[in-house]
Chain A
C-alpha cells in the first residue's frame, strides 16, 4: 500500500499513485500526499493503475481530497482504474464528482 507522489514541473499538478490495496490503512499516507504540497497546486491526478482494491473508506478519502481541493471547484481525475475499481466507483456514482478515466 505504498503511496508515491509526483509534482509536475510547473508545480500545478500533483499525481498520487497508490499501489496495492486502497483502504483504511492508507488513510494517513494519502492525506500526507496531498496536504504537504505548497500552494499553487491546481489539479490532482489519482493514478489507480496499480491499485488492486478500493473500499468505502477509500471513497471517503477521495471525498476528503475533493473537499481539501476546493469542493465543487476541485479538479481531480481518477485514472487507469481496473475492472474492480471501476465497478465500485460506478455503483457509488462517483463520476458525478470526479473525472474518471
Chain B
C-alpha cells in the first residue's frame, strides 16, 4: 500500500531551520487549515460537489507535501483523482483514511513544537 513515512523528519528539520521562530505559527496554521479542509471534504461529498472536493483535496495535498507529510499527501492525491473522476463514494473511503492519517501527523507535529 503506502510505504511512505508519516513524517519526513529531515524535511521538517530543514523547515524548522528556515522558519526559525515562526515555525510554531506555521505548524499551528497548517493544523488548523487541515482540520478545516477535512470538514470541507465531508461537506462536499454530502452536497455531491465533486469539483469543490477535488480542488480542496489538491490544496490539502500541496500543503501536506510542503510540511513533510508525504503519506498524507499521497492520500490527498488519491482523493483528488476520485473527485475529478466523480467517484464520490470511493472518495468517502479515502477521506476516512485521510482523517486517520492526519491524526497521526498531528500528534507527531505537536511533539516538534516548543
A/B touching: CB–CB < 8 A: no
Taking Cβ atoms with an 8 Å cutoff, the residues of B that contact A are none
A residues within 8 Å of B by Cβ? none
